[in-house]
Each structure stands twice: as C-alpha cells, then as structure tokens.
Structure 1
Amino acid sequence: MPVLLFRLNGVSEEEADEVRALLDTHSIHYYETTAGRWGVSMPGIWLPDEEQSSEAKALLQNYQAERFQRFNQEQHHLMQQSLASSLWASFWKKPVRFTLVILAVLFVLGLSLYPFVDLFIN
C-alpha cells in the first residue's frame, strides 16, 4: 500500500528538488502526485510500498533538521551583518519612495475615516 512521505503543498521547488535528490542518492523508489488541473488534489511524494518507509522517514527527518539548522545559521549571519531589512533601513535605501508610500497610506486612511470623524464633529 502506498505511503505518503512528503507533502508538496507550499514547499519551494528548491526544497522539493533536494528531497528528490536525497531519495535518489539512497536508491529509494518513489513517485509524485500533483495538485491536478484545478488544484484540489494533494501534491506529494509517495513511496509505492511500506518496505523503505522507515528508512525514508529517517532520512527525511535528518534532512529537515539539517535544513532548519542551516536556515537558522543563515538568518543569524544576516542579522550579524545587519542585512536583514527593517523599516529604518528601507527608508534609507529609497527615501522618496518610502515617503510617498507613507503619504498614500495616510491619504487612504484619511478617506476611510473621514465619514466617522465628520459624524463626531457635526
């Protein structure tokens, strides 16, 4: 009986490719399903039988732990270099655009709240 190994909903193509490569290097036979024409089916990576499921699940668990650790290290590295975007950094990158966006937000907010403010004033 087929076993669902990995759901592909919301997974980046890079991660899906890495999982496929991991299974290929360990000679684990699998097949994929797509979301279908209307996107109502479940895309995933399936094992045709339960023989290799314990080995594949252990490999996948190790891979995900390594990926999580790698992602945390990259984020920590970005934070140390101050490359992580912040509101102040985005202002300094493009001050004119930032100011125009803030003014547009305030304008839309003012138009939205005008009827309510007008009720209280009159």
Structure 2
Amino acid sequence: MPHFLMNLRHVPDDEAEEIRALFEEHGVDYYETPPSRWGISMGGFWTRDGAEAERARALLATYQQSRSDTQRAEYSRRLAAGEVPSFGQRLMRRPLTVLATLLAVALILGLSVAPFLSW
C-alpha cells in the first residue's frame, strides 16, 4: 500500500530537487507523482513500504528543520542588508497594486463582518 510522504503543491523547485537528492543519497525507495496541470491533484513523494516511509519521514523532518533554519537566516541577512522592501517601498514601487490589494482586503472583511453588525 502506498504511503504519502510530502505534498508538492507550492514547493519551490530547488527544495524538491534537494529532497530528491536526499532520498537518492540515503537510498530511499520512493516515487513521485507530479501535480496536475490545473491544480486538481497535488502531486507528491510516496513510498510503497511502511518501514521505508518512517525512515523517509525522519529524513524529511531533519531536512525541513535544516531548511527552515537556513531560510530564516537568509531572511534575517536580507532584512539587515535592507534588501527586504518595507510597506512604504512597496507602495512607492507599485501604488495601484498595493491600493487594490488593500481595497480587496477591506471589501472581503466588510462582507464577512456585515451580517454580524446589522441586527
């Protein structure tokens, strides 16, 4: 029976490549299903054996913790270097996009709260 290891929806290509390399390096017998063109099926990494699935999940947990630490450190470095745009910088760079987004958020919030405010 197949054992699901990881969803590939919204996974960057570099992360998927690193996971494939990790599985290959440790000899994990896995297979991959690609996400569908229209986003109906998610795609993912799978194994056929329960014991192999547990071993792969342990490897994934270690890898994901390491990747999380690396990504957080990179974000902190970019933040300290001033490479992460602030709200004001985004507003100056793309005023229509930012204002349209704020308007959409306000509209959705208003529609969500309106039934509770009118007695």
Normalising to structure 1: TM-score of the pair?
0.69
**What is the deviation of 1:87?**
3.6
1:27 is matched with 27
1:68 is matched with 68
Q: Establish whether residue 36 from structure 1 lines up as the match of residue 30 from structure 2.
A: no
**What is the deviation of 1:42?**
3.1
For 2:59 and 2:6, the matched residues in 1 are separated by 12
Identical aligned residues as a percent:
35
Q: Which 5+ residue runs of structure 1 have no aligned equivalent? A: 110-122
Q: Describe the shift of the 1:82–1:4 C-alpha distance in structure 2 as closer, same or farther (beyond 3 A).
A: same
Q: Describe the shift of the 1:32–1:82 C-alpha distance in structure 2 as closer, same or farther (beyond 3 A).
A: same
SS in 1 for 2:65: helix
Give the partner amino acid of 2:55: E
For 2:37 and 2:89, the matched residues in 1 are separated by 42
For 1:87 and 1:37, the matched residues in 2 are separated by 34
- Give aligned pairs, total: 99
* CA deviation vs aligned residue, 1:18-45 (integer Å, no higher than 9, x gap): 1111000000011111233554223011
CA RMSD of aligned residues (A): 2.5
Normalising to structure 2: TM-score of the pair?
0.70
1:55 is matched with 55
Q: Which 5+ residue runs of structure 2 have no aligned equivalent? A: 104-119
**What is the deviation of 1:82?**
1.4
